[in-house]
Amino acid sequence: MASFLHLPAIFTLPSPLHGASFPARSRPNSLFHTRFSIKCRYAEANVNKDAFNSVSATIDVVADVKPERVVVLGGSGFVGSAICKAAVSKGIEVIGVSRSGRPTYSGSWIDQVNWVPGDVFYVNWDDVLVGATAVVSTIGGFGSEEQMQRINGDANVVAVNAAKDYGVPKFILISVHDYNLPQFLLSSGYFTGKRKAESEVLSKYPNSGVVLRPGFIYGKRRVDGFELPLDLIGEPVERIMSATENFTKPLSSLPASDLLLAPPVSVDDVALAVINGIRDDDFFGIFTIAQIKEAADKVRV
């Protein structure tokens, strides 16, 4: 859409500027072009009023504005759907990718998401990544050692490299807190897969990659058509842990202590932290549970 702004401005310049223009540069079709012009008037020393009124210049500026277009991998899952919903509420264009495609339940935000059924190992990235400004991966799961390595690690590595190849400027990974576990437990396929994915994100996106490490995520989770109110457990536990943090903090150095002491985090807070990551160019790196909550507070309405 073209809009024209005429803004009077007074400048003191050593010599008259009769005109200046900044030509538009070609951009991909995914960009919106906004044209506006600024009319500038200025006066020099010893110039009379009539001369002042006759000296003017119009500056035409063509601005290329790239719309926010976010791809959420695992978009119909527990965490993915919360991210899609939050992004839609912020006016962000969302593409949700998952093997099951569009969720089976209803919701006004669901109709505003472009759902693409597919597996990251086989999806046609042309249908997904062209014009994207960020990719968010919620891919992860349990199973055998081989399955966990493939789901938590390899699948995310494929997604990171595809996003990089398509020039997507930001990648956000939902990973997991390590719970201060001993090394022999962290060597399981679940954690090694997650850390492999983290390494790929931070390697390919050193100045824009985001890794969120939440602990137990609570909220209303849908399983086989039923809604599990995990918030009935997670929310009060989070409040208790927050209130007793000063007393339990000395215990945090004990091995595996965070299995009991790491506070749960709301799925809505994880989603809002993702929104903050999408919009804040200075937000990159690895983020702990406490930092996830801080990031969510920055964009909470």
In this prediction, residues 59-64 reach a mean pLDDT of: 52
Residue 277 has pLDDT above 80, yes or no: yes
Residue 162 has pLDDT above 80, yes or no: yes
Give the best-scoring range by mean pLDDT among 132-141, 185-194, 259-268: 132-141
Q: Which residue has the higher pLDDT, 121 or 179?
A: 121
Residue 36 has pLDDT above 50, yes or no: no
Residue 51 has pLDDT above 70, yes or no: no
pLDDT digits (tens, 9 = 90+) for 111-130: 999 999 999 999 999 999 99
How many Å apart are CA 261 and CA 244, to the nearest integer?
A: 10
What are the two backbone dihedrals, phi and then psi, of residue 5, each rounded to the nearest 5 degrees? -110, 135
Closest Cα to residue 97, out of 69, 68, 55? 69
pLDDT digits (tens, 9 = 90+) for 186-226: 889 999 999 999 999 999 999 999 999 999 999 877 776 66
Amino acid at residue number 205: Y
Residue 283 has pLDDT above 60, yes or no: yes
In this prediction, residues 63-89 reach a mean pLDDT of: 90
- Residue 268's pLDDT is 96
Q: Which residue has the higher pLDDT, 99 or 262?
A: 99
Cβ neighbors of 216 (< 8 A, separation 6 or more) are 234, 262, 264, 265
pTM attached to this predicted model: 0.75
Average per-residue pLDDT for the chain: 80
- Residue 57's pLDDT is 55
- Residue 224's pLDDT is 65
- Residue 20's pLDDT is 37
- Residue 48's pLDDT is 54
How many Å apart are CA 178 and CA 162, to the nearest integer?
A: 27
Weakest-pLDDT range from 18-22, 52-56, 243-247? 18-22
- Residue 106's pLDDT is 82
- Residue 6's pLDDT is 37
- Residue 238's pLDDT is 72
- Residue 107's pLDDT is 87
- Assess contact for 100 and 139: CB atoms under 8 A: no
How many Å apart are CA 19 and CA 35, to the nearest integer?
A: 17
How many Å apart are CA 95 and CA 72, to the nearest integer?
A: 6
In this prediction, residues 52-79 reach a mean pLDDT of: 72
- Residue 258's pLDDT is 66
In this prediction, residues 33-38 reach a mean pLDDT of: 37
Both structure tokens of 115: 């759902």
Residue 251 has pLDDT above 80, yes or no: no
Closest Cα to residue 3, out of 61, 57, 58, 67? 61
- Assess contact for 114 and 108: CB atoms under 8 A: no
Question: How confident is residue 49, by pLDDT bands cut at 50, 70 and 90?
Answer: low
pLDDT > 70 in the chain, percent: 70
In this prediction, residues 127-148 reach a mean pLDDT of: 96
